[in-house]
Structure 1
Amino acid sequence: MGVICVELWLEGEDSSSLTGHADRIWIGEAADVAVVHLDDHRGQDEALSLVGMIDWILVRCSDWTMIPLENIVAAAAGSGTRVAAAISKAVDLNGAAFALQHGVDALLLPADEELWTAAKTVLGERNSQDSEEPNAAVELLLADVTSIESGGVGERVCVDLTERLALGEGMLIGSSANALVLIHGETVPSEFVPSRPFRINAGAVHAYCLMADGSTRYLSELEAGDAVAITDSSGAIRPASIGRLKIERRPFLLVRFEIDERLGQVLAQQAETVRFIDENGTLSVTSLQAGDRIMVRTTTGMRHVGRKVAGEMNER
């Protein structure tokens, strides 16, 4: 199955620039669309009775609740009937677009440019998940660890995701945006503490991390709801949303490394649960030695507010 593109419908006849972006202009009625108001269980029953009988069901709800919409999406799957949802607030976009992971087939929006921008962002995430195309990838190389020394005490950031990580997955973190280290998630069991398969102990607040859109951001700037890039040892990337950030004062180790005569470094908490990745698996930062090799992603150029621009930059 290829990408299932979600349609965007514009509410009412409008002469704004949004008209050219709409897949359909909705003026209140159409022969192929049945409008159902989900104000109580009778609205849901009406919608379910129409599944397979008409091309489109347009669902309107004065107070969005997800269960009735999910029931309609489930019933319509494979029936030939498609579901559209009228949305007036950005907070409701994700619920409609990802209901039962499949989501609705169209969103009906008013002539509100901010809402349309938000909808396009959400649908971009939805369409990327529906695609059979392989995920984006980065090239990972093996860097030689040159030294490990005390990094003092500072503020450490744990990134807790809204989903679990697989073995071999983590985040790209570093003190330079052009030399990011793959730090493994807390998915490896330990005899001292239980695993936290949703967590990456990412490092110090000053460090860069790679975001899902390819930009970089300081760990101190991250917020719940942001989408970070999750990377595995092959370099494949997928997005994941942050559910919580945990910032505490902890001791650090300063790990310096070299690759192709370029130097880099990263500060990691001094804890056995913090792991890097090499060609054979994972290495705990507390057992790391000079001469070990760790996976890194290197780039060139400058960064301005996280975006790559032409120019030279030297971060030490």
Structure 2
Amino acid sequence: MAVSSSSASAKALSCLHASLLAPETPQRTVVAASASLLRRASVRMRASAAAPAELKKTVWVWTENRQVMTAAVERGWSTFLFGSKDLGKDWSSTARINPLFIDGPNIFDGENQKVAVISQVSSPRELELVQPDSVEAVNVVIDFRGGWQVIPAENIVAAFQGCRGTVLAVSTNSNEAQVFLEALEQGLDGVVLKVDDMDDIIKLKDYFDRRNEAKSQLPLTKATISKVDVVGMGDRVCVDLCSIMRPGEGLLVGSYARGMFLVHSECLETNYIASRPFRVNAGPVHAYVTVPGGKTSYLSELRSGKEVIVVDQHGLWRTVVVGRVKIESRPLILVEAKDNSGDDTYSIFLQNAETVALVTHESGSSGRTAIPVTSLKVGDEVLVRKQGGARHTGIEIQEFIVEK
């Protein structure tokens, strides 16, 4: 749907995306001079008195490949930038898209309303020109040149924090897009994905899915402990993450994929050992652990650079990177629990140590977020994640299965 004349500014402020013409096109030479044009046009952002509510990142696509267009639309990205109005009209006749058109350093919608400007940044001086002030509200698409991307992007994020305008960066592949979206943790407001390879669309959508931008919740349920037995030695896995966990957070781990226990991190202080808020003493090598994409992995398969899902007491989850995995032989405890219906039993092995705990549903005045396995007893209630049991290479499938 095109941006209307009356809502052009609002649309541009909430979801600007754009792209640049290929280097061989005539308009590209105009873009190269966008820094000086930016000065003459007084193109700046207007700072907001209060930080805006967190918005979802936005993606606009620049391509001349119909397969790329189809892949983008199927994944919810329907705004495209064109250098030719004829191509834009042709594509609009076959798909429901929002076409934008580039003309020199400016970007217009279908009603010829300017929604953005393009600024090329290849030096510190050009970067200084892209700064917010109170002159007028427009949006900026930045084409980072000269080899440097990370530091200039971080400087832009810092300069525009709390502003009502939108800043996007041109990305020529999904990896570049990730750099811009993660600059200074907050990232730029979005990216302009300028590609002709459908794989980059797929990879970027997968990135958004893994990063859980929607901040969705996993349903957790209470289960009652029915057995706690000391069983002997086993090879257990400590998962050290590249992120800090807070009280109430941990990994979903279980002997059966149909029921995963929320195993608490070692973020809690103790008298005998310093807290390790990056670590989850997760269980033995055979256990399942939840990973992005609705999949599971064996704990033994985790290694540096892999990703897992960190979940909190309320089911909110985020994707984190594994920094290190430690497998050592330690004494184990077998824990079994039943759901409230009593129809299903879940199982997990954990190291027999005071620093290993399961997350409980209790909160509020009690202040208890986790129960150490050394204090766990029959009748205690802990949190589990119920899901389909049958798995093939970590992917849930519909088939007959018995696990015991």
Flag whether TM exceeds 0.5 (same fold): yes
Deviations 1:130-189 (A, max 9, x none): x5xx631323222223231224232x2222223222212211111110121221111221
Residue 312 of structure 1 is matched in structure 2 by 400
> Does structure 1 retain, via aligned residues, the 8 Å contact 2:210–2:292?
no
Counterpart of 2:252 in 1: which secondary structure?
strand
Deviations 1:2-50 (A, max 9, x none): 7434122215xx1331134362235474533544333221221233389
2:219 aligned partner, one-letter code: V
Counterpart of 1:48 in 2: which secondary structure?
coil
> Aligned match of 2:332 in 253, 269, 279?
253
Measured at CA, do residues 230 and 209 of structure 1 come closer, stay the same or move farther in structure 2, by a change above 3 Å? Answer: same
Measured at CA, do residues 296 and 57 of structure 1 come closer, stay the same or move farther in structure 2, by a change above 3 Å? Answer: closer
For structure 2, the residue ranges without an aligned partner over 5 or more in a row are: 1-52, 73-77, 84-101, 108-115, 363-367
> Does structure 2 retain, via aligned residues, the 8 Å contact 1:148–1:290?
no
How high is the sequence identity, in percent, across the aligned residues? Answer: 26
- What aligned pairs does 1:86-235 form with structure 2 within 5 A after superposition? 86-100=170-184, 101-124=186-209, 128-129=212-213, 131=214, 135-154=216-235, 156-234=236-314
Residue 10 of structure 1 is matched in structure 2 by 62
1:276 aligned partner, one-letter code: L
Residue 131 of structure 2 is matched in structure 1 by 48
Shift of 1:301: 4.1
> Does structure 2 retain, via aligned residues, the 8 Å contact 1:109–1:115?
no
1:144 aligned partner, one-letter code: I
1:37 aligned partner, one-letter code: Q
CA distance in 1, matches of 2:62, 2:153: 20
> Does structure 1 retain, via aligned residues, the 8 Å contact 2:223–2:337?
no
CA distance in 1, matches of 2:181, 2:189: 6
CA distance in 2, matches of 1:315, 1:238: 27
**Further displaced range: 212-221 or 72-81:** 72-81
CA distance in 1, matches of 2:257, 2:203: 28
**Further displaced range: 219-228 or 175-184:** 219-228
Query: How many residue pairs align between the two structures?
Result: 308
Residue 264 of structure 1 is matched in structure 2 by 346
RMSD: 2.9
Structure number having the greater strand percentage: 1
Deviations 1:197-244 (A, max 9, x none): 12111111211012243322211223444442323334x131131241
> Does structure 2 retain, via aligned residues, the 8 Å contact 1:93–1:122?
no
**Further displaced range: 274-283 or 166-175:** 274-283
TM-score, scaled relative to structure 2: 0.67
Residue 383 of structure 2 is matched in structure 1 by 295
Shift of 1:292: 4.2
Residue 121 of structure 2 is matched in structure 1 by 38
Counterpart of 1:217 in 2: which secondary structure?
strand
Residue 68 of structure 1 is matched in structure 2 by 152
2:354 aligned partner, one-letter code: E
Counterpart of 1:143 in 2: which secondary structure?
strand
CA distance in 2, matches of 1:314, 1:252: 27
TM-score, scaled relative to structure 1: 0.84
For structure 1, the residue ranges without an aligned partner over 5 or more in a row are: none
